Amino acid sequence: MKRLHGKNILLGITGGIAAYKSAELTRRLKDAGADVRVAMTRAATEFVTPLTFQALSGHPVHTELLDESSEAGMGHIELARWADAILIAPTSANFIAKLAQGRADDLLSTICLATEVPLAFAPAMNQAMWNDLATQANCKTLRQRGLFQFGPASGEQACGEIGEGRMMEVPELIDHLADCFEHGVLQAVNVMITAGPTYEPIDPVRFIGNRSSGRMGYALAEAAREAGASVTLISGPCHLATPDKVQRINVETAEQMHKAVFDHLKECNIFIAAAAVADYKPVDAKKQKIKKDNESLNLVLERNPDILSDVAHSKTRPFVVGFAAETENIEQNAQSKLQRKNLDMIAANFVGQTENNKQDIGFNSEYNALQVFWANGSSTLELTRKSVLARQLIQLITNHYQAHKKDEKNTA
Ligand code: PMT
């Protein structure tokens, strides 16, 4: 099968002599099965005309942010949503700097800021510009945010100099892009993820719940799926669409979540507990609605099963990753949960407003930041969208899972 069959690829082209190679790239992307739309910066149109790309892609080329006719056709937000991936090739030093700063002053940079899909950039510039510390620092920032950097290659440059900075060749660009969809690092691996809140009934109309939206767990399900895993998502009540090709099982209470997890545990290789499970439930959930007869009401609560701990202590346990939602002493509390619950890894997040920017993160937010701990190490995943963070966490989990499998093999 063609490696990009059925994929919507937005090809971004910025100003540089390598823009002439983007014509060939457009053709080859189509040959690989992709539907290609092209967005060009003004500088790019100085090198190659939009008409060339219109003819090759079969679609009008997008160049202006504030253009009534193109916004009426497919505006920048729709383009950002339409794409399954964005590839910017060539990417100039200036555009890399713009991306690193999060600027949105033309169509392409605005699309990049508005998108949540994998974003790849292929640097192409003079070798001195490439080696400049500012460019290097900007590329590092982009990689840390989860963008894919393709190249550059080295060799003779259009300016006559020799060195690193040439745009990666077209076949390699296509291979790398296809890898973003099917890098398959988790192919043939079954991943089970819990997500969302649990609702513990008090009576038929009331429950004890929490502020979890499910976004973190759903983003992880999508990222694991992208990495090639078969994903089972055990979801508490939340209003999110099920990610493509993910098996979702709906539950309401902690006990139901516990049962669903154990029903599917046999096939599971990696278990990730992102759900905010109620620690306690009412002892005696009433069959009828409680009447307002008394001035006060006492609810007696009892402990729910700890799903994560039970999985991690089970006989044939998978690789187990827990979460820790903390409002203080993040590291200390996370380390204690890592040991007490017998986990391989734990991803700790601060829940509430950060002191620095007063932005809500963690619960019910598009954003999060994580400190991840394991037996003899840790890693910090900086504040970003949950979709980006999820890909970074899945990559980290994958690295540890593979090392763990190797160790198991060696000691067998
Ligand atoms: O859903 P969002 O709005 O996107 O928010 C994401 C999140 C903040 C809910 C998520 O990032 C997160 O931190 N999830 C874990 C929340 C939590 O319940 O943390 P905890 O520290 O109380 O529990 C520790 C771990 O034990 C968690 O992995 C939890 O899933 C698990 N647990 C807890 C209690 C229980 N009875 N069973 C469990 O499995």
Mutate to test the pocket of ligand 1, among 193, 200, 211, 212 (most ligand atoms within 8 A of CB): 212
Q: Write out 6-46 in H/E/C secondary structure.
A: CCEEEEEECCCHHHHHHHHHHHHHHHCCCEEEEEECHHHHH
Question: What pLDDT is recorded for position 278?
Answer: 98
Q: What is the pLDDT of residues 215-252, one digit of tens each?
A: 999 999 999 988 889 999 999 999 999 987 899 999 99
Pick the residue with more confidence: 75 or 399? 399
Mean pLDDT of 176-188: 80
* Ramachandran angles phi, psi of 369, nearest 5°: -140, 145
- Binding site membership of 258 for ligand 1 (Cβ less than 6 Å): no
Which are the contacts of 119, defined by CB distance < 8 A and separation ≥ 6? 85, 86, 88, 112, 147, 148
Q: What is the mean pLDDT of residues 85-94?
A: 98
- Mean pLDDT score of the chain, rounded to an integer? 92
Residue 358 confidence (pLDDT) above 60: no
| pLDDT of 260 strictly over 90 | yes
Burial of 109 (0-12, 13-18, 19+ CB in 10 A): buried
Band of the pLDDT at 411, cuts 50, 70, 90?
Answer: confident
Distances (CA, A) of 6 to 25, 79, 84, 115, 225: 17, 16, 9, 19, 17
- CA distance linking residue 228 with residue 121, whole number of Å: 22
Helix, strand, coil percentages in the chain from 3-state DSSP, rounded to 5: 40, 25, 35
CA of 308 to the centre of ligand 1 (A): 9
Residue of 215, 308, 335, 367 to mutate, ligand 1, most atoms within 8 A of C-beta: 308
Q: What is the pLDDT of residue 232?
A: 97
Q: What is the pLDDT of residues 270-305, one digit of tens each?
A: 999 999 999 999 999 999 999 998 999 999 999 999
Whether 168 has a pLDDT exceeding 70, the answer reads: yes
Give the closest residue (by CA) to ligand 1 atom 17: 276
Residue 355 predicted with pLDDT over 60? no
pLDDT confidence bin for 4, thresholds 50/70/90: confident
Q: Please identify, by atom number, the ligand 1 atom nearest to the C-alpha of residue 210.
A: 9
Determine the pLDDT at residue 356: 58
Does the Cβ of 197 fall within 6 Å of ligand 1?
no
Pull the structure tokens for residue 295.
């001035």
Q: How far apart are CA 319 and CA 268, in angstroms?
A: 9
User: What is the Cα–Cα distance from 165 to 126, expressed in whole angstroms?
Assistant: 6
What whole-number percentage of the chain has pLDDT above 70? Answer: 95
324 C-alpha vs ligand 1 centroid, how far in Å? 6
Asked if pLDDT for residue 312 goes beyond 90, the answer is yes
Residue 412 has pLDDT above 60, yes or no: yes
Against a cut of 0.75, is the pTM above it?
no
pLDDT attached to residue 69 = 65
Tokens of 330: 């993040």
- The letter for the amino acid at 85 is A
Instruction: Give the pLDDT of residue 1.
Output: 52
Q: Which of 83, 356, 377 lies closest to 369 in space, CA to CA?
A: 356
What's the pLDDT tens digit per position in 101-119?
Answer: 999 999 999 999 999 889 9
Q: Give bridge partners of residue 326 from the DSSP assignment.
A: 350
| DSSP H/E element including 82 | helix 76-82
Indicate which residue of 159, 180, 238, 268 is catalytic.
159
Take atom 14 of ligand 1 and give the residue whose Cα is closest: 274
pLDDT at 73 over 70: no
When pLDDT is averaged across residues 178-195 and rounded to a whole number, the result is 85
Lookup result for tokens 């020799």: 162
Q: What is the mean pLDDT of residues 68-72?
A: 62
Reply yes or no on whether 159 is catalytic: yes
Residue ID of nearest Cα to ligand 1 atom 21 = 324
Tell me how far the alpha carbon of residue 281 lies from the centroid of ligand 1, in angstroms.
16
- Cα 102 to Cα 13, 14, 35, 257, distances in angstroms: 18, 16, 27, 40
For the chain, which domains are there? 2-179 (3.40.50.1950), 190-411 (3.40.50.10300)
CA nearest neighbour of 119 among 9, 222, 243, 32: 9
What pLDDT band is residue 76 in, cutting at 50, 70 and 90?
A: confident
Instruction: Please state, in angstroms and rounded to a whole number, the distance separating the CA atoms of residues 373 and 169.
Output: 39
